[in-house]
Amino acid sequence: MSNSTPKRRRGSTIVELSLVGSLFFILLLGIMDMGQFLFVQQAIVERARSAARWGAVTDPANTAAIQNMVLYLQPAAPVHGTPSFGLTPAMVAVSTVDPGTDDYRLTVRISGYSYQVLSPYLAASYQGSPITISVPLGSYF
């Protein structure tokens, strides 16, 4: 027969709850951080892809409008608009390669963007890897 008192059992339950609960919340924050990273990465890739396609259809030489498509999802910068995901015009580079040939390409490159990590002991702002999207234009322009 056990000789332990209910108070002693209650104390061990609190210790177990604190250990398991802290581990659970650390894992939950890690999952949220990974989800945020994947969301930001995919959203920026989709903006670059959309801007490159838009530039290929309209005017590949209009780099400012293509840059605005990445920053604001419209060709002209709004008067009081703020770019999403902390992007700035300096982070977006638009270039064309081999105009007048069959290998004519429009390239959109986004670099220097960051994302915030909330996990304990890792909490900081980290820089994402550069994103490069290249669209073939052929000899249409």
- Could you list the mean pLDDT of each consecutive 10-residue stretch along the chain, which spans 141 residues? 59 88 92 93 96 93 95 92 91 89 89 87 87 83 52
pLDDT digits 0-9 by tens, 46-69 = 999 999 999 999 989 999 999 999
Question: Which has the closest alpha carbon to 40: 115, 120, 139, 92?
Answer: 115
- Alpha-carbon distance 58 to 124, whole Å? 40
Tokens of 32: 């949220």
State the pLDDT at residue 10. Answer: 64
Structure-derived torsion over alpha carbons of residues 49, 53, 56, 60, reported in degrees to the nearest 10: -50
Q: CA dist 117 to 77, 110, 113, 114, 120, Å?
A: 30, 20, 13, 10, 9
Question: Which has the closest alpha carbon to 118: 28, 6, 39?
Answer: 28
Tokens of 63: 């780099």
Q: Which residues pair with 134 in a beta bridge?
A: 107
What are residue 60's phi and psi, to 5 degrees? -65, -20
State the pLDDT at residue 5. Answer: 57
pTM of the predicted model, to two decimals?
Answer: 0.80
Place of tokens 């259809």: 57
- Alpha-carbon distance 51 to 86, whole Å? 17
